Amino acid sequence: MSFDFIRHDVKEQKTKSRYRQLVCNRTASQGKEIIVNGKSYLNFSSNDYLGLNNHVEINKALQEGADKFGVCSSSSSLVTGYHYAHQALEDDVCQWLNKPKCLLFSSGFAANLALFQALGKSEESHFYLDKLSHASMIDGAYHSKAKVKRFNHNNIDHLTKLLNSSGENATDSPNKLIASEGVFSMDGCQAKVLELAHLATSQQAWLYLDDAHSIGVVGNEGQGSNYFADIDITMATLGKAIGTSGAFLTCNEDLHEYLVNFSRHYIYSTAISPAIAWATRKSIELIQKEHWRREKISELSALFSEQLSQEVELVATQSSIHAIIIGDEKKALSISDNLKKQGIWLTAIRPPTVAINSSRLRVTICANHNTKDIKYLAECINKATA
C-alpha cells in the first residue's frame, strides 16, 4: 500500500494509549454542559474561560456584523478582504492593550508561525523559547532560519545563562527574541512576566508572549500579560476566553509594516470573517467591564483546591487551568472514563502534548460554573484517583 506509515503510525498510537478521535458534541446550559450521544456532561475541558461563548449580546453583534459587512471577507487582507470591521477591532485591541499596532490572523497557530518565520529571517536571529511553549511556537521557531535555544520552564537563571553564552555570536546579535506563553496551556501557571521583561530590556532582546490563555482572564480589564509589563509583541487567540475565532498580534509600527509586507501566513490567507470581527468587539467590551467573570474564576478555583484531597497532585495556579498530574497514559485515560460515568467531561492530556509520564487531567474552571459543580467535580476526582 502507498504511504504505509499511515496505518502503522495510527496502530502504534493505539498500543501506546495515545490514540485520539473526534467526539461530536453540542453545548447546553449556557456552555457549561456538553451533550454527547444524547447524554449530558458537566464540561471541565472547555477554553470558554469567561463563559462568553453564545452570549446573547455577542450573538446579536455577530448578526449585525453579518448584515453590515457579510459573513465572509471574500479575499485576503491585502486584496479586498480588509474591512471596516477589522480596522475597528484592531483599534479596540490597541486601546485595550495600550499598543501602537494590531494585526488579525485566521488563528493563533497561524499567527505564531507568521511571527517566528518573519523574525527568523536568517541565522543572525536568535530565539530563546520556554521549554513548555506551545506546538505552534515551536514549529514556527524551528521552521525559521533563526538559531533556537530552549530554556528550562520559567527558569530565568537558565535563560540568562543562555543569553550570556558566547557561542554562535548570540550575545552580539541585535536580533534576539525571548518567547514564552503568558499562562501555560497545559499546567496553567503564569510566566514570570516582569522578570522576563526586565531581562529582555537589559539584553536588548524583544519579548514575545503568547497570551492564548491569559487574555480575558488576567489583568484588571482582562488585558493579559500587558497588565504586568509593556510586552514588545503579544499574540492572543480569539477562540478561548474571547469566545469568537481567529487571533490578534500586537507590536510596534515597524514590525506591523514588515508583517503586512512579508508574512506569508498573513498575505496568502483569507482575512477573518468581518462578522466575527464585529462580534469580537462586543466580546472585548464585555471582558473589560464585567469584572465578576474573572472574580468568579478565582473564587471557584480556590474552592476547587480546597475540596481536593491532599493525595491529588494539583499544579497550583492563579488561572482557569488546573492540572492534575497522573503520570501514566493508561491511568489518565481510565480516570477520565470513570469521570464520564459520573457525568463529568474531563479530557486526559497525554504525550506528545505533554512530556512522557506526565499525563494529566486538565481541569478548566470557567465563569459559568458554580460552587455545586466544583464541589461535585472535586468529590468525583477524589474518588476516581483514590
Ligand X SMILES: Cc1ncc(COP(=O)(O)O)c(C=O)c1O
Residue tagged active-site, from 55, 101, 134, 256: 134
Amino acid at 360: R
Nearer to ligand X, 58 or 312 (CB): 58
> Taking Cα atoms as reference points, which of 324, 294, 310 lies closest to residue 186?
324
Q: Is 366 in the site for ligand X (CB under 6 A)?
A: no
Q: Is 187 a catalytic residue?
A: no
Q: Is 248 in the site for ligand X (CB under 6 A)?
A: no
Q: Is 191 in the site for ligand X (CB under 6 A)?
A: no
Measured in residues, the chain has a length of 386
Query: Of 47-66, which residues contact ligand X (CB under 6 A)?
Result: none
Strand partners for 2: none
CB of 210 to ligand X, least distance (A): 5
What are phi and psi for residue 135, nearest 5 degrees? -50, -40
Residue 181, by phi and psi: left (phi above 0), alpha (psi -120 to 50) or beta?
Answer: beta
- 3-class secondary structure, 151: strand
Residue tagged active-site, from 47, 152, 269, 382: 47
Query: Of 202-231, which residues contact ligand X (CB under 6 A)?
Result: 210, 212
Nearer to ligand X, 130 or 373 (CB): 130
Q: Is 353 in the site for ligand X (CB under 6 A)?
A: no
Residues 6+ apart with CB under 8 A from 177: 119, 125, 126, 127, 128, 146, 205, 206, 207, 208
Residue tagged active-site, from 33, 130, 187, 210: 210
Q: Is 240 a catalytic residue?
A: yes
CB of 224 to ligand X, least distance (A): 12
Residue tagged active-site, from 99, 101, 240, 256: 240
Applying CB under 6 A, the span of 81-89, 103-111, 148-156, 374-382 interacting with ligand X comes to 103-111
Residue tagged active-site, from 43, 53, 112, 185: 185
Q: Treating both helix axes as pointing N-terminal to C-terminal, what angle do 84-97 and 56-69 enclose, rounded to 10 degrees?
A: 140
Burial status of residue 40 (CB atoms within 10 A of its CB: 0-12, 13-18, 19 or more): middle
> Which residue in 51, 65, 81, 108 binds ligand X (CB under 6 A)?
108
Q: Is 134 a catalytic residue?
A: yes
Nearer to ligand X, 34 or 170 (CB): 34
> Taking Cα atoms as reference points, which of 85, 97, 140 lies closest to residue 274?
85
Eight-class DSSP state of 79: I
Applying CB under 6 A, the span of 105-113, 153-161, 261-269, 336-344 interacting with ligand X comes to 105-113
Binding site for ligand X (CB under 6 A): 107-109, 112, 134, 136, 181, 185, 210, 212, 237, 239, 247
